[in-house]
Amino acid sequence: MVRLIIFLIFSAWAVISGIGVITFTNPIYVILWLLSALIAVAGIFFTAGAELVGALQLLIYAVAIAVFYVFVLTAVPWEKAIKKGTHYRMEGVVSLPLVILLYVEMAIVFLLGITASPEGKFRAFIEKFGNTEVVGSILFTKYFFAFEVVSLVLLIGMIGAVLIGRKESQTYENDTR
Amino acid sequence: MKTIPVEAYFVVSMVLFGLGVIGLIARRNLVTVLMSLELALNAVNVAFVGADAHMGLVEGQIFALFVIALAAAEAAVGLGIIIAIFRYRYVESTDEITDMRG
């Protein structure tokens, strides 16, 4: 019962922060609301018993990626974006039926999926060894190839970011504006 | 152990994902569009971990870790693209980038 109350608190916090992400106009306020939402989602993970994922959510998302966004916000001139309005009003209104349709679709998929979900077979294993050990052992045995592929994807993304953000030597001089 | 129903996780995930989709469609600033994408990815993670806690598996947590890693790569590449767009075109709003020239 206490877990349910804590879960509801974190859920309300996450949803309010999400509303803040899509309504505020200043990008600095938006990154603060996004940080709040990430911390609330980490709380949901802790409540669900996924300590490793919650800790990595706090470490990677709420620290590293958020700081990266703040760094990029210092590099782009966001005064112009504030001055000319930061929302598409018409598209925002038109997107609401689309999102409601998306909700209905997801509800159908979830309800059909829950009725067909099998019983857990790792439950006793988790209660015996603890969450982090089980996640690590299965990650490094059954999903080891996917883990290596993800590391390769991270390496390629890093190289791509360096190549894209590199300062070209006057190549696009006539092409700007 | 199962005081939280799995439907609660899915409701939270659906609401967060819808907010992310609205942000993707309706925001004008490129950086905030990427932030809305991060919100949608977090909603997917909530659904993964919730279903994981319901079914007693650990695959959901592993997939959530993969989603976090891929979101980090996506943020690096996307923000690099934003910086490149600003450097070459001096715009950062989505309605001023109407062609893929250059």
Tokens of residue A134, six digits: 């089980």
State which residues of chain B have pLDDT below 50. Answer: 102
Residue of A2, A4, A8, A11 to mutate for B, most B C-beta atoms under 10 A: A11
pLDDT at A78: 63
Number of domains in chain B: 1
pLDDT at A38: 92
**Cβ of A116 under 8 Å from any chain B Cβ?**
no
Map out the domains of chain A as residue ranges. 1-78, 121-166
pLDDT at B45: 93
**Cβ of B85 under 8 Å from any chain A Cβ?**
no
Task: Output the pTM of the full model.
Answer: 0.82
Give the separation between CA A147 and CA B39, rounded to whole angstroms.
23
The CATH number linked to B66 is 1.10.287.3510
pLDDT in single tens digits along all 177 residues of chain A: 788 889 999 999 999 999 999 888 888 888 999 999 999 999 999 988 888 888 899 888 888 888 888 888 887 766 665 666 667 777 778 888 888 888 888 778 777 766 665 554 555 555 666 677 888 888 888 888 988 999 999 999 989 888 887 766 555 555 554
Alpha-carbon gap: A140 to the closest alpha carbon of chain B (Å): 10
pLDDT at B37: 93
In a domain, B82, yes or no: yes
Cβ burial of A90 (10 Å; 0-12, 13-18, 19+) is exposed
pLDDT at A111: 72
Residue A24: left (phi > 0), alpha (psi -120 to 50), or beta? beta
Alpha-carbon gap: B76 to the closest alpha carbon of chain A (Å): 6
Tokens of residue A105, six digits: 């679709």
- Of the candidates A38, A81, A165, which has its C-beta nearest B42's C-beta? A38
- Of the candidates B9, B19, B68, which has its C-beta nearest A56's C-beta? B68
The count of other CB atoms within 10 Å of the CB of residue B99 is 5
**Cβ of B64 under 8 Å from any chain A Cβ?**
yes
In a domain, B97, yes or no: no
**Cβ of B41 under 8 Å from any chain A Cβ?**
no
Give the separation between CA B88 and CA A174, rounded to whole angstroms.
10
Q: A175–B75: do the CB atoms touch at under 8 Å?
A: no
Q: Give which of A42, A126, A56, A6 is closest to B59, Cα–Cα.
A: A126
Q: A119–B56: do the CB atoms touch at under 8 Å?
A: yes
Residue B45 belongs to domain spanning: 6-89
Question: What CATH fold (topology level) applies to the domain A1-78?
Answer: Four Helix Bundle (Hemerythrin (Met), subunit A) (1.20.120)
**Cβ of B44 under 8 Å from any chain A Cβ?**
no
CB A165 within 8 A of CB B83: yes
Tokens of residue B20, six digits: 């992310």
- Of the candidates B22, B73, B102, which has its C-beta nearest A92's C-beta? B22
**Cβ of B27 under 8 Å from any chain A Cβ?**
yes
Instruction: Give the residue on A whose Cα is nearest the Cα of B38.
Output: A34
- Cβ contacts (< 8 Å) between B54 and chain A: which residues? 117, 120
In a domain, B58, yes or no: yes
Q: B56–A95: do the CB atoms touch at under 8 Å?
A: no
Alpha-carbon separation of residue A5 from A2, A54, A123, A142, B86 (angstroms): 5, 18, 23, 35, 46
